[in-house]
């Protein structure tokens, strides 16, 4: 496969297309036709966006768990000092 034929689209266009599909609940094929992009490309953008959001949420949940553990540890140290 010749990668030089791969077309690069502006990030703003990708965001706009993803928004049309996700927030305006439009069909991938309709959005693809409107923006002159293949339906496969629109699907890949939407899927990639979902994966990034899931990974981001996972990282946030992990950070919250770590901070809760740290708070509990600091509270134990505080009670030990106060006793």
- Domain spans in the chain, listed from the N-terminal domain onward: 8-82
Q: Is the dihedral of CA 8, 10, 11, 15 positive or negative?
A: negative
Position 2 scores a pLDDT of: 47
Report the topology of domain 8-82. Answer: Arc Repressor Mutant, subunit A (1.10.10)
Q: What pLDDT, in 10s, does the model give residues 10-51?
A: 999 999 999 999 999 899 999 999 999 999 999 999 999 999
Position 7 scores a pLDDT of: 80
Q: Which two tokens stand for residue 50?
A: 């979902």
Distance separating alpha carbons of residues 26 and 30, to the nearest angstrom: 7
Global pTM reads: 0.65
Position 42 scores a pLDDT of: 95
Sole residue written with tokens 């770590």: 66
Cβ contact 42:17 at 8 Å: yes
């Amino acid at each position: 496969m010749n990668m030089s034929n791969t077309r690069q689209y502006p990030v703003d266009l990708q965001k706009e297309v993803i928004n049309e599909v996700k927030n305006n609940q439009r069909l991938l094929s309709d959005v693809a036709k409107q923006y002159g992009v293949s339906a496969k490309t629109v699907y890949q953008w939407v899927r990639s966006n979902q994966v990034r959001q899931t990974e981001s949420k996972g990282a946030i949940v992990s950070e919250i768990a770590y901070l809760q553990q740290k708070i509990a540890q600091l509270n134990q140290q505080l009670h030990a000092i106060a006793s």
